[in-house]
Structure 1
Amino acid sequence: MSPIRRIEEAKERCIAVANRVQSLPLSKVTDSCKQTLLRLVNSELNFLSRLSSASPDFSGPISANIGYLESVVHILQQTFVTGVSRVCKPIPLSSENEERKCSSKGIHVDIVCTVDRRPVWFIVSDRNPKYISWLGSHKNKGLRARVEKVLSAAQSCLMLKPFSVILFFSNGLDDVVTQKLLNEFGASQFGKEFSEFDCDFSKDLEYEWVNDFSRSYRRAIIFQLKVEHYSTSSESSQGCTCPLLGAVTPDWADKQSQLTLALIALVSGISNGGTGKLLATPVCEMMKRFKSNYEFVMAQVMSELQNPILVELGGLISGKRGMICESVHSEFKELVSMCGGHNEKLRAEYLLKCLLIVPDSPSERVMSLPTTRKIALKNKVIFGTGDYWHAPTLTANMGFVRAISQTGMSLSTIEHRPRALTGD
């Protein structure tokens, strides 16, 4: 293939990647992450366009990053990758010593996200395996130094500290280098199955689907490095003991697939067959009863008629053990006591018997976030306790979730629609 044709093919791949970025759901990838990727793709496309127009007889090698961007987007499209809060940016380091080791700008991480409700970092390489050396040279510091820097940064980072670092080599890795990773860093094969191909499709004039572009990832090798294995003894012991159950790690909660439940939504009269009664009540009486919250309550009534929330929540929590922290337990009991009706109080009493109540034990990384108007201390305790247990927090407080994502932190949450107590 001629160099010019290779440039045109690379440009087509850029357009295909841009389309895939646009199709990533905001429920998985923040808009700022998508914009970062689109800027990188557009920069690559502009470089290729300048290369082809300025040198129509160009015959040299093409230095393009499109393969790397394809690999990043390929990872983002995997169903088990959620809560993507940062892509293709350096991680700011909390330690001045670490900053001097890595650079004043921090350490580059390709993806900050959540896998199995645990925060992880992805480091992505699209290089030819024969150019990935272990110890490096005057041109390249080598994979060993790169891994050491990333793990050191992961240990020192508070807000964005990952449970593990995932190394994704899209074109595979030399056997010798592979053994070095396994022996010196205790790397293990990543346990999730990635799709082997990337495909983009479009319709031709005959209305048949045709393949525009396909790339194989059959040679890809993915390793996982658990950060806790490289912590000091004091660091590794921190946060590994459950104050309720003794020497039990947070894996216990993870294996039980526990959720911090949205209690009000579960006991509300709106969620439990009260919509008909509310709609039959005269408007003047409803306005007197709910005052400034009238429109808010009626919007929830209409939402319940269209999509019953217990059906939605049932699919999320069925077969799982619910857990709440002491702060939620106390606040919930107070709210129900003040605003709940007889039936709502009975439901609340029954519900609390089904839940595991744990002490407030927010994770260090969540508590390290600055307390602001949008990131209140109370919410840091509640969401941080879920993070400590590696349990997703079921929440209608998307303002807090958005504020967290803007810090670059990946937090495991599940959104639900709000419901209010009605005095039923």
Structure 2
Amino acid sequence: MAEPDAVELAKQRCRAVMDMIEALPTSTNITVSSSRTLHKLALRELNFLSRCSSSSSTPLSLNIGHLEAIVHILQHPSVAGISRVCKPIPSSCLKAVYVDIICTLNRNPVWIIVSDRKPRYISWHRGHRSKGLKSRLEEVVDAARSLQALEPCSIILFFSHGLDQFILERLRDEFRATEFNFNFSDMDFDFSEIDDDWVNVLPRRYKEACVLEIKVNDRNCGITSSNFNSKLCSTGVDELEILDKYVERDLGVPFCSVVKAMKPNPMIGIEDLESTSLEHLLDDTDLINFDTTALIALVSGISNGCVAKLLATPEDELKQKYKSNYDFVIDQVMSEIQKPILVELSSFLSGKRGIICQSVHSEFKELVTMCGGPYEKSRANYLLKHIIMVVPDMASKRMMCLPTTRKLALKNKIVFGTGDYWNAPTLTANMSFVRAVSQTGMSLLTLEHRPRALTGD
């Protein structure tokens, strides 16, 4: 039987969860549809409770604890790229399986299953009212190994009230599950008893939580490159050799401040290529993958002090120079005045090592050669020669398993897939591609920046 005022307490918990969904950090990159799904589930629970009576003799069945645990996980600082929440994963060849969260955790794609049941209610084998944990996990693991485009590196199991020893041993023996350190604060939120008609929000504790990891494969991130030999590529713009005489006055103080805060290129010489392996990058947690838009944003004259010069130029002259791109350039100028982009990029890049794939390297060189001015060329050359490491074109297996369409162009799949292979977020202004990937249900680690154009400065 529901305790007096238990319904009102549960309602308060629902409202608190809804508030926390709205306040999820932007770093999670949670999709609008995922946020909407969570909000609908909390609202559905609240509406159900609104129809209940505190004096009812019917036992009160709550789902709010499950939602609380999910939101608790979504608040973790290492969770990003949330692409699907509380929805089944469809498959043409397998029965749909339910996964609570599809996201990126510590830069790896994962599926997360959450249980808020007390240990005594978690059964291992199929029962009268339950398919059993073993049967459910077999379906999830089979799906994870079959749905290549959504294939996770790991399946994370979060039991918020812990597990009994029997089931824990079965998970270890039959699924090779190992303990997973979430590095969580053990507190989230909870609720006190009603006191003089007031409900006080208190921290909820997850000290009893048991978190396990099931590795789907030793390494899910495959490689699709005909010329990859685990060797470094050369860097630099051959036709634009940097000279020592260039100083901050030529490259720009803001630009120099950003690149100096980054980890430098290891400066591997051509003679060392045959003996140098890239595999050490797999352990580098400070990588950022640049697409072409990000490189242009760094070297653009608009980002580096020519805004006043552009605004002082007669409109007719600018329209003749930029033609159909005039409005695009002016919009960027106004954006730069309101919020300088290098300040924004500095927060992403400080202490990071930049990588680009060979396709981006070639495209960037071509664009700078054709459209860049002398200062933009100098900045581009410095960036490529001293800061950015060029790796071969490669793409994660899951990215290449996505269908190639107009919105999911092969060129972009290679660029973003390279970042996915190295577990590195891709810095980009190409949000149409990011949205197209998100619509497939794939979790992809990305960082958004505002676009900038080369000005001939």
**Cα-to-partner distance string for 1:158-204 (whole Å, 9 max, x where unaligned):** 12111111100011111232233233323222233123222389xxx
Is contact 2:368-2:380 (8 Å) kept?
Answer: yes
User: How do residues 253-268 of structure 1 correspond to structure 2 at under 5 angstroms?
Assistant: 253-255=282-284, 257-261=286-290, 262-268=294-300
Query: Are 1:410 and 2:443 matched, yes or no?
Result: yes
Is contact 1:3-1:61 (8 Å) kept?
Answer: no
Aligned to 1:358: 391
**Cα-to-partner distance string for 1:34-82 (whole Å, 9 max, x where unaligned):** 1111221222222223332xxx742232222111111111111222211
SS in 2 for 1:228: coil
Rate the CA distance shift 1:237–1:63 in 2: closer, same or farther, 3 A.
closer
SS in 2 for 1:37: helix
SS in 2 for 1:198: coil
Aligned to 1:419: 452
Task: Measure the CA separation in 2 of the matches of 1:369 and 1:404.
Answer: 8
Is contact 2:224-2:395 (8 Å) kept?
Answer: no
User: How do residues 11-410 of structure 1 correspond to structure 2 at under 5 angstroms?
Assistant: 11-25=11-25, 28-52=29-53, 57-93=55-91, 96=93, 99=94, 103=95, 106-199=96-189, 211-229=200-218, 238-239=222-223, 243-245=229-231, 252-255=281-284, 257-261=286-290, 262-354=294-386, 355-410=388-443
Higher relative contact order (CA 8 A, sep 6+): 2
Cα offset, 1:119, TM superposition: 0.9
Is contact 2:81-2:104 (8 Å) kept?
Answer: yes
Is contact 1:253-1:391 (8 Å) kept?
Answer: no
Is contact 1:251-1:389 (8 Å) kept?
Answer: no
SS in 1 for 2:288: coil
Is contact 2:104-2:110 (8 Å) kept?
Answer: yes
Task: Measure the CA separation in 1 of the matches of 2:330 and 2:384.
Answer: 27
**Cα-to-partner distance string for 1:231-287 (whole Å, 9 max, x where unaligned):** xxxx87954996333997867345152222221111111222222322222222222
Is contact 2:160-2:209 (8 Å) kept?
Answer: yes
Task: Measure the CA separation in 2 of the matches of 1:404 and 1:21.
Answer: 23
Is contact 1:199-1:211 (8 Å) kept?
Answer: no
Aligned to 2:260: none
Count of aligned pairs between the two proteins:
401
Cα offset, 1:294, TM superposition: 2.0
Instruction: Report the TM-score, using the length of structure 2 for normalisation.
Output: 0.81
Is contact 2:86-2:99 (8 Å) kept?
Answer: yes
Task: Measure the CA separation in 2 of the matches of 1:391 and 1:87.
Answer: 23
**Cα-to-partner distance string for 1:203-251 (whole Å, 9 max, x where unaligned):** xxxxxxx94354221211111122114xxxxx87954996333997867
Is contact 2:221-2:421 (8 Å) kept?
Answer: no
Rate the CA distance shift 1:31–1:25 in 2: closer, same or farther, 3 A.
farther
Is contact 1:29-1:84 (8 Å) kept?
Answer: yes
SS in 1 for 2:150: coil
**Cα-to-partner distance string for 1:328-353 (whole Å, 9 max, x where unaligned):** 11111111111111221222222222
Which deviates the most, 120-129 or 374-383? Answer: 374-383
Rate the CA distance shift 1:2–1:158 in 2: closer, same or farther, 3 A.
closer
Cα offset, 1:422, TM superposition: 0.5
Mark the runs of 5 or more structure 2 residues left unpaired by the alignment: 192-198, 232-274
Q: Specify the code of the residue in structure 2 equivalent to 1:359.
A: P
Mark the runs of 5 or more structure 1 residues left unpaired by the alignment: 202-209, 230-234
Task: Measure the CA separation in 2 of the matches of 1:32 and 1:92.
Answer: 16
Q: Specify the code of the residue in structure 1 equivalent to 2:88.
A: P
Instruction: Report the TM-score, using the length of structure 1 for normalisation.
Output: 0.86
Rate the CA distance shift 1:319–1:215 in 2: closer, same or farther, 3 A.
closer
RMSD value, Cα: 2.7
Rate the CA distance shift 1:416–1:145 in 2: closer, same or farther, 3 A.
same
Cα offset, 1:112, TM superposition: 0.5
Rate the CA distance shift 1:228–1:11 in 2: closer, same or farther, 3 A.
same
Rate the CA distance shift 1:90–1:249 in 2: closer, same or farther, 3 A.
farther
Is contact 2:2-2:59 (8 Å) kept?
Answer: no
Rate the CA distance shift 1:26–1:370 in 2: closer, same or farther, 3 A.
farther
Cα offset, 1:306, TM superposition: 3.4
Task: Measure the CA separation in 1 of the matches of 2:35 and 2:173.
Answer: 37
Task: Measure the CA separation in 2 of the matches of 1:75 and 1:250.
Answer: 31
